[in-house]
Amino acid sequence: MTSLADRLRERIRSEGPIAFSEYMNAALYDPEDGYYADPSFTTGRSGDFATAPDTGPLMGATLAEPVEAFAEQGSRLVELGPGSGRLVTDVLDQLSEEARQRLEVVLVEPFEARQQALADRVEEDTGHRPRVVGDLEPVEPGRTFLLANEVLDALPVDVLAKTEDGLDAMHVDLDDGDGFVEVWQPAEPPLAEAAAPVAPRLPEGGRYELSRGLEELLRSVAGTLDPGVAAVFDYGGRFDDLWGQGSSGTLRAFREHQHAEVLEDPGEVDLTADVDFSRVMGLADALGLAETAYGGQDRLLVHLGLVEVARQRDRMQEVKQLLVPSRSTGFGERFRALVLDRGGVADTLDLAVDLDDPDVWTRAMEDMGGEEGLAGLGSDLF
């Protein structure tokens, strides 16, 4: 089989430069050679990057609190893009037996080649066999608690740059040595149309990453929550904070926990971009989902009792990794949490909260002995 890089080269030779989103889609999701198609894909120490659930069970154990309350009425827990299955395993581990019995667990793993192993692993670790589907289509609308950790940042993006003449889009071409290089071309329809809501707000010279698949994904989430809540975690921020003042771009590649070249070795490196949460909220609103909480991921976890959960499990050393944005290892406030609701469910689960309220943070800090107490805790991920 020709390598993914060779297939992309052939395509560029015959079609000319391809949109960056096409390149990223192939690099991450090519059915044979895409980065996420690899059955051995994992996160954490032996992967190329670590996600918050890799720090230990505290994130899942904390999220189990609202899931437990939600399960009282019989319902379904869905996780989009569960990767290793760590997060859902940690949630299930913390639930009462009654709650587990009442929950149908559905995992959305796009690659068939990884579905069986994922179901086996979660069953082995929790005794609970999840239903695994490739997308949300076969999941009937119903009472749903949905989790998505670091999924939106993995959606293919187009990279746009505002020029004095309009909007350019990054394309991928070949140099004389057959290496992949970026070239810029005016954004044409339908990309220009998709970018129309943000283009006038981009300052000249500024870059912006636009995921055209985001709307479809949110539409399928909105169609599933009937009623329900979605708790979405990712790095990113509001448009004005990250792109509105002029950004040099947030697209990046990772290999073995280091930054790598974006256009080198498609399928071998992770590609990712920050999430524009203003756009997520705008699209969600148009789809009938209400935003009930938005802010630092650390704040939402603290609000839900992270410190208490850690203390009960004698895992205070791990709290710091979820709170401090240190080095590349901390999962502090540069990670954002967004709760979307249909039907007033969030309110009943303590998931309708103002995360900018300083009291949320102050109480947790006092609980841990202030900055001094926090400084005394461990800081390294591995």
Which is nearer to ligand SAM, 57 or 82 (by Cβ)?
Answer: 82
Are 115 and 45 contacting, i.e. CB atoms less than 8 angstroms apart? no
The token pair that represents 286 in the structure block: 């148009």
Are 319 and 58 contacting, i.e. CB atoms less than 8 angstroms apart? yes
- Check binding of 321 to ligand SAM (CB under 6 A): no
Residue numbers 127-166 binding ligand SAM by CB under 6 A: 149-151, 154-155
State phi, psi for 380 to the nearest 5 degrees. Answer: -85, 145
- Check binding of 82 to ligand SAM (CB under 6 A): yes
Gap between the Cα atoms of 76 and 176, Å rounded:
54
Residue from 263, 245, 373 nearest 319 by CA: 373
Q: How far is the CB of 13 from ligand SAM (least distance, A)?
A: 29
Residue from 131, 51, 124 nearest 93 by CA: 124
Residue numbers 353-372 binding ligand SAM by CB under 6 A: none
Q: How far is the CB of 150 from ligand SAM (least distance, A)?
A: 4
Q: Which of 17, 53, 66, 296 binds ligand SAM (CB under 6 A)?
A: 53
Gap between the Cα atoms of 138 and 43, Å rounded:
27
- Check binding of 43 to ligand SAM (CB under 6 A): yes
Q: How far is the CB of 5 from ligand SAM (least distance, A)?
A: 20
| Number of Cβ within a 10 Å radius of residue 89 | 22
Gap between the Cα atoms of 18 and 193, Å rounded:
18
Residue numbers 280-309 binding ligand SAM by CB under 6 A: none
Q: How far is the CB of 11 from ligand SAM (least distance, A)?
A: 22
Which is nearer to ligand SAM, 108 or 202 (by Cβ)?
Answer: 108
Q: Which of 25, 51, 250, 321 binds ligand SAM (CB under 6 A)?
A: 51
Which is nearer to ligand SAM, 215 or 347 (by Cβ)?
Answer: 215
Q: How far is the CB of 334 from ligand SAM (least distance, A)?
A: 15
Q: How far is the CB of 34 from ligand SAM (least distance, A)?
A: 8
Are 235 and 334 contacting, i.e. CB atoms less than 8 angstroms apart? yes
Q: Candidates 18-26, 82-90, 93-101, 240-248 — which segment interacts with ligand SAM by CB under 6 A?
A: 82-90
Gap between the Cα atoms of 186 and 19, Å rounded:
11
- Check binding of 310 to ligand SAM (CB under 6 A): no
Q: Which of 80, 289, 323, 381 binds ligand SAM (CB under 6 A)?
A: 80
DSSP-assigned beta bridge partners for residue 339: 231, 293
Q: Which of 56, 57, 83, 228 binds ligand SAM (CB under 6 A)?
A: 83
Gap between the Cα atoms of 160 and 150, Å rounded:
22
Residue numbers 98-127 binding ligand SAM by CB under 6 A: 108, 110
Gap between the Cα atoms of 104 and 172, Å rounded:
43
Q: Candidates 83-91, 122-130, 312-320, 361-369 — which segment interacts with ligand SAM by CB under 6 A?
A: 83-91
Which is nearer to ligand SAM, 70 or 235 (by Cβ)?
Answer: 235
Which is nearer to ligand SAM, 17 or 53 (by Cβ)?
Answer: 53
Gap between the Cα atoms of 148 and 80, Å rounded:
5
Gap between the Cα atoms of 371 and 168, Å rounded:
46
- Judged by CB under 6 A, the number of residues near ligand SAM is 18
The token pair that represents 226 in the structure block: 């009937």
- Check binding of 217 to ligand SAM (CB under 6 A): yes
Q: Which of 17, 81, 228, 330 binds ligand SAM (CB under 6 A)?
A: 81
* Exposure b/e, 111-145, CB count within 10 A at least 16 = b: beebbeebbebbeeebebebebbeebeebeeebbb
Residues in contact with 295: Cβ distance below 8 Å, sequence separation at least 6, in sequence order: 333, 336, 337, 354, 355, 356
- Check binding of 36 to ligand SAM (CB under 6 A): yes
- Check binding of 223 to ligand SAM (CB under 6 A): no
**DSSP 8-state assignment for residue 178:** S
The token pair that represents 185 in the structure block: 């071309």
Which is nearer to ligand SAM, 161 or 322 (by Cβ)?
Answer: 322
Return residues touching ligand SAM (CB under 6 A).
Answer: 36, 43, 51, 53, 80-84, 87, 108, 110, 149-151, 154-155, 217
